[in-house]
Structure 1
Amino acid sequence: MTSPNQPATPTDTRRAVTLTRVGPGQFRITNAAGGTIEVGSADTDFSPVELLLAALAGCAAINVEELTSRRAEPVSFDVVAEGHKVRDETGGRMTDLRLLFETVFPEGEAGDAARAILPRVLAQTHDRICTVSRTVGLGSDVAYELSPPSPSRT
């Protein structure tokens, strides 16, 4: 098995993170660049569902900010990601996912230009640019596999 923390080459489509247990109910996620984030069951930890919401908001925000800030730097730029965690006969899942963009651009011609393209940029981000929301929206099976056993350490 290849290491998940190898940087992707320009033609490599593979993306991966590694999750490592650091204590009871505590995990550290590490990306290929060495960035980390904690996840767990303590009250102050991000839950996996919150990380899903963060991924949706982050992916969309990066794309929207990149395209609108070419016209004007935002005065403020916030995204609220929300949904409902439900459990039914099929199991647990999130429903009614929504991203609410709270953006303010400066007065004047540049701000007007950024505001004018915002609806189109949101639609493009939703329809084809944001990999995370498109994956969630289109659905993708997730394989659960066991790696081969490693030799015992003595």
Structure 2
Amino acid sequence: MASVNVERTDSGYEARNGRGAVVAIGSGDEEGAFTPVELLLAAVGGCNIVSVEPLTAQRGHRLVRLAMTVEAEKAEPNLLGTVTITYDVELPEGDEKADEVFRAVAHRVHEKYCTVSRTLQEGVEVALEIPE
């Protein structure tokens, strides 16, 4: 099971995982804080990139640069439209197959292995529990 704790602090809001990592959350006006939507986009990008990089390298093609931008416009005031991942890749010089391998891996990860992307694509229930 995946789990994070999100709470109000003296300086705003933060999310903390069981390993002690902390991310500041805000409404968009605070320095050094992510909005909840930005965290969702970061989760999509992070899930894809942490799978694509090692799988490409395991196939013998270590990319010189691997980065991405993840964007979404609001379809409604409280609903995102299409989430778009745009890769920024620098291929190793002289490696003729690197592009082909990278593209195949990136598509496979997006379609089958990235839990975050797949969850958004399939849709998932978000249950609310308020203890008595």
| TM surpasses 0.5 | yes
Q: List structure 1 runs of 4+ shifted beyond 4 angstroms.
A: none
Greater Cα offset, 62-71 or 136-145: 62-71
Q: Please say if residues 61 and 101 of structure 2, whose CA atoms lie closer than 8 Å, have aligned partners that are also in contact.
A: no
Aligned to 2:73: 84
Amino acid at match of 1:46: F
Residues 26-45 of structure 1: pairs in structure 2 closer than 5 A? 26-41=12-27, 42-44=29-31, 45=33
C-alpha deviation, 1:127, in angstroms: 1.4
Residues 98-113 of structure 1: pairs in structure 2 closer than 5 A? 98-108=84-94, 111-113=95-97
Aligned to 1:146: 130
For structure 1, the residue ranges without an aligned partner over 5 or more in a row are 1-13, 149-154
C-alpha deviation, 1:85, in angstroms: 1.6
TM-score (norm 2): 0.89
Amino acid at match of 1:113: K
C-alpha distance in structure 2 between counterparts of 1:120 and 1:62, whole Å: 15
RMSD: 1.5
Q: How many residues align?
A: 129
Aligned to 2:118: 134
1:112 counterpart SS class? coil
C-alpha deviation, 1:72, in angstroms: 2.8
C-alpha distance in structure 1 between counterparts of 2:34 and 2:125, whole Å: 24
Higher Rg: 1
1:122 counterpart SS class? helix
C-alpha distance in structure 2 between counterparts of 1:35 and 1:147, whole Å: 27
Instruction: Report % sequence identity.
Output: 31
Q: Please say if residues 92 and 98 of structure 2, whose CA atoms lie closer than 8 Å, have aligned partners that are also in contact.
A: no
